Amino acid sequence: FVLFLSVIFFSGETRYNKDKILQGQGVDEPLSDTGFRQADAAGVFLSNVKFTHVFSSDLLRAKQASASSGKSSCCKDLEIKYDARLRERKYGVAEGRPLTDLKAMAKAAGEQCPSFTPSGGETLSEVRERARDFFEFLCRLAVEAGQNKQQTHSAASNSLGRSEVQSVLPWTDHCSEPELNSDNSGASKQLDANILVVSHGAYMRNWFVYFVSDLKCTLPTTLTKSQLSSVSPNTGVSHFVIKLDKENILRPEINCVYLNQDSHL
């Protein structure tokens, strides 16, 4: 099975975002006018993609962003599934306060941001555990989707010609195309799942660290360490190709096609 996971930061700008005030989970501001425009632009950017599933954080700003993207042809016919595991990192007593306050708290504790955990907040390990749990859920979902295809289609219908493959790959018009696995005939295989995930910057940064440190994700050669550790711009787009072995689905091969793409903004 080959799972293509498309991770989209559709948490567009809010008023608190702009003013550098921590929102986390306890403060859930709606999108600003700019935030809605950003989500619309990202939806257009992905309008040539044929998604099979759409998941979103259940926080208001992510719901609004996912609904805005849902108007695009990329996923207008799909039901958006809301999941608390995709929520932003919880910042406890620092939520609703300026980012400078969190930095001051960290300094007083002799620690550095973002590893510092304010009272009532989530540790980075706890955030990463949420990301791991949700990703393993996606892996099982992809395998189930692949098995359903095998039951309803012949082997021939599971192989796509080159022109057909291009119609379902979002990077075709925006980025260089990675090499896909092929069967013995050399034909590229159809993706079993093409998933859109709508979440938040700090949460997704921890997801990427999990991909790289725990699952040994292959990164673009041009990507720097600072880019990997930075928070994505609002509605930045990241693409991963994930190869699943049905005998050991929790040890996938992951290739990062690009990270925090923001050319649509």
Render pLDDT for 47-59 as a digit per residue (tens, 0 to 9).
Answer: 878 788 899 999 9
Task: Consult the annotation and say whether 144 binds a ligand.
Answer: no
Rounded CA Rg of the chain: 19
If one compares 19 and 265, the residue with the highest pLDDT of the two is: 19
Cα of first residue to Cα of last residue in the chain, in angstroms, is 34
Q: With a cut of 90, say whether residue 159 has pLDDT above it.
A: no
Task: Consult the annotation and say whether 203 binds a ligand.
Answer: no
If one compares 151 and 259, the residue with the highest pLDDT of the two is: 259
pLDDT at 141: 87
Distance CA 90, CA 93 (A): 9
Mean of pLDDT values over 172-182: 39
pLDDT at 190: 57
- Residue 74 in contact with residue 47, Cβ under 8 Å? yes
By the 10 Å C-beta count (0-12 exposed, 13-18 middle, 19+ buried), 80 is classed as middle
Give, in order, the Cα–Cα distances in Å from 90 to each of 23, 59, 96, 134. 8, 12, 11, 17
Task: Consult the annotation and say whether 89 binds a ligand.
Answer: yes
Confidence of residue 258 (pLDDT cuts 50, 70, 90): confident
What the chain holds in terms of domains, given with CATH numbers, is 2-151+191-261 (3.40.50.1240)
Render pLDDT for 103-136 as a digit per residue (tens, 0 to 9).
Answer: 999 999 999 988 999 999 999 999 999 999 999 9
Task: Consult the annotation and say whether 95 binds a ligand.
Answer: no
Query: Could you tell me how far CA 72 lies from the centroid of its own chain?
Result: 18
Confidence of residue 44 (pLDDT cuts 50, 70, 90): confident
With H, G, I as helix, E, B as strand and everything else as coil, classify residue 73. coil
- Residue 96 in contact with residue 26, Cβ under 8 Å? yes
| Beta partners for residue 202, in sequence order | none
Q: Report DSSP letters for 13-56, one per residue.
A: -BHHHHTTB--TTT--PPB-HHHHHHHHHHHHHTTT---SEEEE
Task: Consult the annotation and say whether 91 binds a ligand.
Answer: yes
Render pLDDT for 195-253 as a digit per residue (tens, 0 to 9).
Answer: 889 999 899 999 998 999 999 999 998 888 778 888 888 888 898 988 888 778 878 89
